[in-house]
Chains A and B, each alone.
Chain A
Amino acid sequence: MIQLFKPRAPTEDHVLLRWALTLLALSFIGVFLILPLALVFREAFGDGFAAAWTAINEPDALSAIRLTLITAAIAVPLNAVFGIAASWAVAKFDFWGKGLLVTLIDLPFSISPVVSGLIYVLVFGLQGWFGESLRDHDIRIIFALPGIVLATIFVTFPFVARELIPLMSDQGREEEEAAVSLGASGLSTFWRVTLPNIKWGLLYGVLLCNARAMGEFGAVSVVSGHIRGLTDTMPLHIEALYNDYQYVGAFAVASLLALLALVTLTLKSILEWRYADEIAAVHHH
């Protein structure tokens, strides 16, 4: 704790300044971050757990939960495989255009979620590039699961790759080169040398990727078509309920996603504390 009567080192702030800044930081975080979170749970369970449970245990809500889980179950593994492939290519080999490739992988993070959905409408929508031929073959991408999955893949695209690329670059190539020169196949080298080295970093990336995949709103909103019980994911279902003034229902479903966020933050913090050396050193988001 802060000691009032200890002489102050020249690089230490005055005790009053310390108190003032700490209080300021705590109140800013309290008002801007904690209050909204507290409100979600208060609004969801203020009328008792029964009302919230009724709102969740209802066909449209259950269908939204199912759709969100399916979407994440497709998008997250695909992006994880991509992340591993991209970081293997970038970290273990030298080739022309590597810097450009890394920049392009990060690109989806600097694009608005709405634009992320829009681009798939421009390709697969009825007036899009492939719109008419898709309609002729009776294939639905926009306003259906494939579109939702595509938009989700786009917004969560860089998560695993940007975690693994710096991590695998730092680890170098010696261990893998040793394994290969001793006669190990490429696959068993990856499985028994690389994967154990990157497992916590991979988990970290997958964790963040999953949180975003399940919570994505803007991009999915553009491609989903908002058909209740059919193409509404959890965030879209929350919007529909809220706009219908069904606040308890909206906040009840929202509390599930808020819980997911809290679990994600807890696991993320544990990984950062326990395995600090085994995940990438720098974490910009």
Chain B
Amino acid sequence: MAALAPALRWRNPSALPGFGLSLGFTLFYLSALVLVPLAALVIRPWEIGWSGFWAVLSDPRVQHALKLSFGASLIAAAINTVFGLIVAWVLVRYRFPGKRLLDAVVDLPFALPTAVAGIALSALYARNGWIGQPLQQFGITVAYTPLGVVMALTFIGLPFVVRTLQPILVELNRESEEAAATLGATRFQTMRRVILPMLAPSLLTGAALAFARAVGEYGSVIFIAGNLPGVSEIAPLLIIIKLNENDYAGAAAIGVIMLALSFVMLLTLNLLQAWTASRR
């Protein structure tokens, strides 16, 4: 109906009261707390100009931190895509005792404060930790290495993939699976050629959400990472280091570049998803 409204009017008439008040408050609150401070972030780096901006970004330490943040997030998102699919599949398709509990536990990374997750993971994967010690026997060191960063980001990202896939799996119609079986496909062929393509867009969406969260993650990572410059130092930490050195523009420059890169990444994945959807 909205399209039928006179073009000049910017809102449709309504019998309900409170439009001005609720929208006014919403816009004020949103601008004061989100939009204006974000503008401060976008404007700040320009006081040092392009050359200053470039100097910050071409610093090897900054480049390594950005590479680590984006690389480890990508690996963690890939791990979560595989295991998130398995967990979601098991939760939707199978029946076993304790399923509801397992379902609730999946949200733990959302509910557990990141600092708590951070010290727990750090203690778990330390050289004398519950998991760290056995791994050490095989010569694998997790704590204070990039591998530790990947572990923490995997922890934080799992629910995104599972929770994106679950509703899609529930609604997936079984008729195409039945048709494939009737036509002589093995179960494996049905999974690979019928089910997986139908899930691909939501798998990508879940992975993109996990990735976006991981890139900016701080609390669960810094304890296990050990923060060795050029080895296991992540980009968000570098922002804090710059701030402590009173280098506001430098901190803002890294902040802006992280913001821009994750927007580009999300946009790419959205386009990819639209393309996958249109192909079917």
In contact, A28 and B86 (Cβ under 8 angstroms): yes
Which of B102, B112, B177 is most buried by chain A, counting CB atoms within 10 A of its CB? B112
Nearest Cβ on chain B to A34's Cβ, whole angstroms: 7
Which of B34, B110, B167 contacts A108 (CB under 8 A)?
A: B34
Which of B15, B22, B158, B262 is most buried by chain A, counting CB atoms within 10 A of its CB? B22
Asked if A266 is at the interface (CB within 8 A of a chain B CB), the reply is yes
* Alpha-carbon gap, A180 to B16, bound state (A): 7
* Alpha-carbon gap, A173 to B14, bound state (A): 10
Mask, A20-56, CB within 8 Å of B = 1, is: 0110111011011111110110010000000000000
Given A25-B86, A217-B219, A261-B113, residue A104 in contact with residue B35 (CB < 8 A): yes
Given A93-B11, A114-B240, residue A127 in contact with residue B86 (CB < 8 A): no
Given A33-B158, A258-B112, residue A39 in contact with residue B124 (CB < 8 A): yes
* Alpha-carbon gap, A1 to B96, bound state (A): 6
Interface 9-residue window, one of B50-58, B138-146, B247-255, B271-279? B247-255
Given A33-B109, A114-B218, residue A238 in contact with residue B116 (CB < 8 A): yes
Asked if A62 is at the interface (CB within 8 A of a chain B CB), the reply is no
Closest A residue to B116 by beta carbon equals: A254
Instruction: Provide the residues of chain B in CB contact with A89, threshold 8 Å.
Output: 19, 22-23, 26
Interface 9-residue window, one of A117-125, A132-140, A198-206? A117-125
Asked if A242 is at the interface (CB within 8 A of a chain B CB), the reply is yes
Nearest Cβ on chain B to A20's Cβ, whole angstroms: 10
In contact, B215 and A36 (Cβ under 8 angstroms): no
Interface set, chain A 134-185, CB cutoff 8 A to B:
150, 153-154, 157, 173, 176-177, 180-181, 185
Mask, B222-256, CB within 8 Å of A = 1, is: 01000000000000110110010010100110010
Nearest Cβ on chain A to B122's Cβ, whole angstroms: 8
In contact, B163 and A93 (Cβ under 8 angstroms): no
Which of A86, A112, A177, A238 contacts B115 (CB under 8 A)?
A: A238
Asked if B71 is at the interface (CB within 8 A of a chain A CB), the reply is no
In contact, A29 and B106 (Cβ under 8 angstroms): yes
Asked if A244 is at the interface (CB within 8 A of a chain B CB), the reply is no
Nearest Cβ on chain A to B166's Cβ, whole angstroms: 9
Which of A105, A218, A247, A283 contacts B123 (CB under 8 A)?
A: A247
Nearest Cβ on chain B to A209's Cβ, whole angstroms: 12
Given A122-B37, A264-B111, residue A22 in contact with residue B94 (CB < 8 A): yes
Asked if A227 is at the interface (CB within 8 A of a chain B CB), the reply is no
Asked if B46 is at the interface (CB within 8 A of a chain A CB), the reply is no
Closest B residue to A272 by beta carbon equals: B104
Given A21-B89, A104-B34, A282-B167, residue A112 in contact with residue B218 (CB < 8 A): yes
In contact, B86 and A93 (Cβ under 8 angstroms): no
Interface set, chain B 49-104, CB cutoff 8 A to A:
83, 86-87, 89-91, 93-94, 96-97, 100, 102-104
Between A and B, 14 residue pairs with Cβ closer than 8 Å are A33-B105, A36-B120, A39-B120, A94-B14, A95-B12, A104-B30, A112-B218, A114-B237, A239-B115, A242-B223, A247-B123, A251-B123, A268-B111, A284-B164
A residues in contact (CB < 8 Å) with B: 1-2, 10-11, 13-14, 17-18, 21-22, 24-26, 28-29, 31-37, 39-40, 43, 82, 85-86, 88-89, 92-96, 101, 104-105, 107-108, 110-115, 118-123, 125, 127-129, 150, 153-154, 157, 173, 176-177, 180-181, 185-186, 189-190, 208, 211, 214-218, 221-222, 234-236, 238-239, 242, 247, 250-251, 254, 257-258, 260-262, 264-266, 268-269, 273, 282-285
